[in-house]
Amino acid sequence: MVHGQKVKGLLYLAVEVIYLVFMAVNGVGFLRMLGSLGSEPQKEIWDEASQVYLYTKGDQSVLILLYGVATVLLTIFMVCMWRGALRSAYKAECLDKAGKHVNNFAEDLKSLFHENLYRLFMTPPMAFIFMFTILPLIFMICMAFTNYSRLDNHLMLFDWVGLDNFKALFDSSSILGSTFWSVLGWTLIWAFFATFSNYIFGMILSLMINRKGTRAKGFWRFCFVLSCAVPMFVSLLIMRTMLQPNGAVNVLLRNLGWIAQDASLPFFTDPTWARVTVIVINIWVGVPYTLLQLTGVLQNIPGELYEAAKVDGANAFQTFTKITLPYMLYVTTPYLIVTFTGNVNNFNVIYLLSGGDPITDLSSTAGKTDLLVTWLYKLTIDKQYYNIGAVIGILTFVILAIGALITYRNSKSYKEEGGF
């Protein structure tokens, strides 16, 4: 605590003392119980005096796991802070030996509003990310290696099971494994069609509206953009109601005599119909957003390119394939990657439209239109299979992260950044 660093040293010492007191009182116990996740079950005892059953307080594995993970992360944070303190002291000593000025505590505080302003602004967001993103994420990852589920009554007390949950999910011969592969396949099919159908139809509309011969361009854009003003969940719920067996669409078709009076189109009761229906409705609600994106791209293509192509005798198709389409793909490749990722996790469209239905196999926990994210919701909220839900969350993250990174790093948007 020399070189004018007494206040800083006292603050570091106070934090270390608080940490040591916490570890002595609770932290060591949290870490010790992390290995077993508790062993004392809740017991039911008959009280003769009051003639009622009393329940003893048993171990709760969820809290033990949460507190244990938090203690480990706190310890890692303290190690990083200790290294920072040593680095700060070493820097102050080097400056002192070199005969240079060493800031005191007041000067360090003042520097937070000048050259170190980024540290002042970045510390609160990093603290929130640490508490509300990193901690829950690591907690979920740890949960994937336990038997935390309603099966065999492991909601209060559960144990570490290693990779058993992953093996069960990858086993295609089991009901759980076959369901996983089926849902994964449909999720990728859905994400592909939901992404590129919106992109293609949005591209066609934007090209038609932006062409020179189109009149009242602002009016046409307004007509499509107007649908964005209606909350998406309202539109989805209205469409779900209209497409029911006794909804407006089937009633209209019966009145027109196009289907029998006792018949109805199976929009959400037949697997194939349901999958096509959710893709078509997703086009309806998603194309206006794509239209807005691509309109901005089209308006920023240099006009000199089209003039040069016209001079060289290029026709409309050649101009589109050689100038318009490459430019649009170059600019919108990151947007396509983000859209594909969002569609893999598109909970709203599937859950609000079909709810994952229809369910053709009663032994399965997922319907024919369930995505990984909606299946995860059902497993955790409805079935209380928290361990399997955590595994699915990890696998979804790994698949999307690897796929997005590989795709982006091999795209022209990354390789030729700023070179179009």
Q: Residue 348: name the closest of 377, 391, 381, 385 by CA.
A: 377
Packing angle, helices 217-225 and 175-210, rounded to 10 = 160
Burial zone of 348 (CB within 10 Å; 0-12 exposed, 13-18 middle, 19+ buried): middle
Top-tier CATH class for 169-415: mainly alpha
Element (H, E) at 340: helix 325-344
Model confidence pLDDT, tens digit, residues 255-267:
999 999 999 999 9
Per DSSP, the three-state class of 54 is strand
- What's this model's pTM, rounded to 2 decimal places? 0.86
Average pLDDT over residues 26-44: 88
Model confidence pLDDT, tens digit, residues 184-206:
999 999 999 999 999 999 999 99
| pLDDT (0 to 100) of residue 58 | 80
Model confidence pLDDT, tens digit, residues 351-401:
999 999 998 876 788 999 999 999 999 999 999 999 999 999 999 999 898
| pLDDT (0 to 100) of residue 420 | 54
Model confidence pLDDT, tens digit, residues 122-161:
989 998 998 888 999 999 999 999 999 988 778 889 999 9
Average pLDDT over residues 325-348: 92
Per DSSP, the three-state class of 45 is strand
| pLDDT (0 to 100) of residue 237 | 92
213 against 273, higher pLDDT: 273
| pLDDT (0 to 100) of residue 4 | 58
| pLDDT (0 to 100) of residue 2 | 53
| pLDDT (0 to 100) of residue 276 | 96
Per DSSP, the three-state class of 204 is helix
387 against 107, higher pLDDT: 387
pLDDT band at 47 (very low <50, low <70, confident <90, very high): confident
| pLDDT (0 to 100) of residue 178 | 92
Spell out the domain ranges in the chain. Answer: 6-143, 169-415
